[in-house]
Amino acid sequence: MGLTPALAQRAAGLEGILPDGTLVRVTEVHRESVRVHDGHADHAARVLPRLARGLAGEDATLAVGDWTLARRDAHGALWLHARVPPLSCIGRRDDHGRRQALVCNVDVALLVMGSMGTSIPGGSSATLHSSTATASCRWSC
């Protein structure tokens, strides 16, 4: 789900990197691992150090919604080898001012906030407007 013709074309450009790889979509990102879906089932996977270094060199990270090429090793562990360049990302600035992608390749973002008059700070319409503008702002990841 969510594999558009434009993303499929970008993925086809990576087939030379991993000819027998499987195209999977990132569904969860953790510190040392990720969860991916291949269209049939959910799988645990790890990011190859080479891919992690390459993303860090581009000041990028994997995010939910990213499409990647994966392959199992001789022990059956699933490893992510390459990231399909995303069409869009929604993100934030981290504590060091670097961009952090929160989600990539999505068409709609739903923002949920507490209503005014609750104990949730920032429940004003100005905050909602600011958050909406941030969600609609996209950059190249």
Give the pLDDT confidence of 67-79 residue by residue, as tens digits. Answer: 999 999 999 999 9
User: In which band, very low, low, confident or very high, does the pLDDT at 141 lie, cut at 50, 70 and 90?
Assistant: very low
CA quadruple 37, 38, 42, 46: dihedral sign: negative
Q: With a cut of 50, say whether residue 140 has pLDDT above it.
A: no
Structural domain including 119 reads 89-136
Element (H, E) at 83: strand 78-83
Q: Report DSSP letters for 17-37, one per residue.
A: T-TT-EEEEEEEE-SS-EEEE
pLDDT in tens, 80-93: 999 999 888 888 88
For residues 51 and 93, membership in a common domain is answered with: no
Per-residue pLDDT, 111? 67
Instruction: Give me the CATH number covering residue 11.
Output: 2.40.50.140
Question: Are 105 and 38 members of one domain?
Answer: no
Say what the pTM is: 0.74
Q: What total of structural domains would you count in the chain?
A: 2
What pLDDT, on the 0 to 100 scale, is given for residue 121?
56
User: How many other C-beta atoms can be found within 10 angstroms of the C-beta atom of residue 10?
Assistant: 16
